[in-house]
Chain A
């Protein structure tokens, strides 16, 4: 443990994270969702119903988590999103209507961040410090937009199994990145919608048993190697009645191990910043 990445007594970190996208995304951005009630209602199920199931489950297992919320969802279902905060979880930026930042001009990215901040302040009285890019991908100027907006950490990338630091060379400022993995994105196994087709090609909904087994093995490996596991779970996908039982098995399995640090992404980022940046005095 002497080269552990984590505080004393901690073997590995778990920063559960949920993207409460609801019906936001491409079809809302191009307006087609307003003529697609089946797709709209499928997405709306997440904030409307599934978030409640998830909050109860997280309570049962005493696990804090991070929820990334497009602010269109916050405006539409403020009580459901406020419940996330009231029950001790963390909220992060996720665009307003799940805009793909890599396709936006710098000015448009700035507008989305400003609009989101105003809505978080109005409805929740808070300013998030963390951000998960809708669609993940960044434009060349995204890091500067985020730093200027006061964001100190992100969970947008994929390329590692522990946090790392992203430098903005021009200004010397830095973000802590907590990368996720497709392996722990519920879209990769469980999402299904026919028109528009997700996944494209309409692959089968995977077996819940084998999905649990995959996720459990990912956790076991991460814990063994002392890493940081985060998730890209979506209430509308894995917060459904049958799949809540899958998450319940996963959480119970993780809870049964010793030395797991269940933390919000912001706490992990804070630790990483102190541990890995304070010596250089640049945090």
Chain B
């Protein structure tokens, strides 16, 4: 266990970052275009703005927990006062593109526009430029890392590939971009998102057992705690912020907070800490293996 000593500040054993994707109906419209105009189905996702955000803010307030939210520019325009409330409550507000565009379908320039447009909207709204970014569908084009740094983004939580933070290559400045990698098993959406038609998920499996999902999360936490890792929880207000599921989240977080050696921090804090402690990735890191092959197409 000696390798994990000193990995985190103040003798903490692991880092725990609660992140919330406040996407309203933006992501689902991109993921499933047949949603357009279907008010009942869309209202499943709009429930987040109506009730879920408040329920999450109340829970985080009760637990004195500061968290990291990702908001698309368009959602910030639609729900300006809600986003300001999230910010005033002490949470970090990050950039999640303008309309949850699937970056796989955009050019690099279009991706850059979506990013900077959202930086402007959010800066207007909360009085500071976000330093965190999440690509809603997980990918970006070669070269986009430099756009992120130019826009003032210091950390991202979009890719996968590790259970500790890592450095993105390709940002040619003294403050490389830090990634807090995700894990599907630490997201609420793969377990709970549902709609009958259009079918979400595509094969329409049953909604997972709440009790068993809590069991999975608790076991995932135990593993991250044992190995001294960085656990990013990825939540959606419309998914986890229901009257029944908020208790599942409360039980999970209260259980984790009972460990005094867990560092609950925002993504920005974890990114800054990692940058202060490391200068690069261990040799052979997945992101560095990918880098030479994830290059602009020559055409």
Contact = CB atoms under 8 A, between A and B. Distances in A.
Contacts of A38: 137-139, 158-160
B203 A202 contact: yes
Contact of A204 (B104, B140, B163, B206): B206
Interface string B218-260: 0111111011010000000000000000000000000000000
> Closest 5 CB pairs between A and B?
A201-B203, A41-B161, A241-B223, A242-B220, A38-B138
A26 B92 CA distance: 39
Given A38-B138, A48-B284, A194-B138, 15 more contacts: A37-B139, A41-B290, A42-B160, A203-B203, A204-B206, A205-B184, A207-B208, A207-B215, A208-B219, A241-B224, A242-B219, A242-B220, A242-B221, A242-B222, A243-B223
Contacts of B203: 199-203
A111 interface: no
Contacts of B162: 41, 45, 48-49
Interface string A7-51: 000000000000000010000000000111110111011001100
A205 B185 contact: yes
A199 B203 CA distance: 9
A37 B138 contact: yes
B286 A204 contact: no
B293 interface: yes
A161 to B, nearest CB: 28
B268 to A, nearest CB: 22
Interface in A65-100: 76-77, 79-80
A242 B223 contact: yes
A245 B185 CA distance: 14
A36 B293 contact: no
A37 B159 CA distance: 7
B284 A201 contact: no
Nearest to B224: A241
Contact of A192 (B139, B185, B222): B185
A242 B294 contact: no
A41 B201 CA distance: 23
Interface in B20-70: none
B4 interface: no
A40 B215 contact: no
A34 B293 contact: yes
A228 interface: no
Contact of B159 (A41, A203, A210): A41
B161 A242 contact: no
Interface in A185-242: 192-195, 197, 199-205, 207-210, 240-242
Contacts of A246: 219
A244 interface: yes
9 contacts: A36-B104, A48-B161, A194-B138, A194-B190, A207-B209, A209-B215, A241-B163, A241-B224, A244-B223
Contacts of A40: 161, 286, 290, 294
B292 to A, nearest CB: 10
Contacts of B213: 207
B289 interface: yes
A205 B216 contact: yes
Interface of B: 104, 137-140, 158-163, 181, 183-185, 190-191, 201-209, 212-213, 215-216, 219-224, 226-227, 229, 284-287, 289-290, 293-294
A48 B224 contact: no
A207 B215 CA distance: 8
Mostly, the A contact residues are: helix
Nearest to A242: B220
A207 B191 CA distance: 10
A205 B187 CA distance: 11
B219 A245 contact: yes
Interface centre among A192, A193, A204 (most CB of B within 10 A): A204
A45 B229 contact: no
A35 B286 contact: no
A195 B227 contact: no
A202 B201 contact: yes
Contacts of A207: 208-209, 212-213, 215-216
A201 B203 CA distance: 4
B191 A204 contact: yes
A36 B226 CA distance: 31
A42 B289 CA distance: 13
A182 interface: no
A240 B223 contact: yes
A204 B208 contact: yes
Nearest to A32: B104
Interface centre among A202, A240, A241, A244 (most CB of B within 10 A): A241
Given A38-B138, A202-B202, A53 B286 contact: no
B109 to A, nearest CB: 17
A187 B206 CA distance: 18
A53 B3 CA distance: 14
B294 A48 contact: no
Given A38-B139, A40-B290, A205-B185, A210 B216 contact: no
Contact of B284 (A36, A45, A77): A77
Nearest to B199: A201
Nearest to A197: B202
Contacts of A193: 184
B33 to A, nearest CB: 15
B205 A42 contact: no
